[in-house]
Structure 1
Amino acid sequence: MPAKSKSQQKAAGAALSAKRGDMNKGDLKGPSREMEKSMSEKELEDMASGKRKGKPDHKSGS
């Protein structure tokens, strides 16, 4: 499932980096910390990949 916003995509990228061991898991905050715990590496890869152009900065609440 691809990310619906730029911020979601960035959080998934940070969580993926921590899951792979490229960064310290303790450095994660907020949504990226929850994503790292609850999603598989494949799910994070799918969410973090793709183009950012045309995506909103943040997902709307509706």
Structure 2
Amino acid sequence: MAPTDFVALIPILWMTTPGAGPMKRFAVPVIFGVITFAVDTLVLIPVYCTLYNRYE
């Protein structure tokens, strides 16, 4: 998933049209999945690798 997908899904959260409910149920997990993936990749994996290399 690219950051552009994240940016493209943000307007769906503000939709108030009658069909917005199903789209919001799709957009919220995708947005938080992109955020979680970024945090895991940029923070947690380097920390785990550093700890593994230190105690190896």
- TM exceeds 0.5? no
Name the larger-Rg structure.
2
TM-score (norm 1): 0.31
Between structures 1 and 2, the one with greater helix share: 2
Q: Which has the higher contact order (CA 8 A, sep 6+)?
A: 1
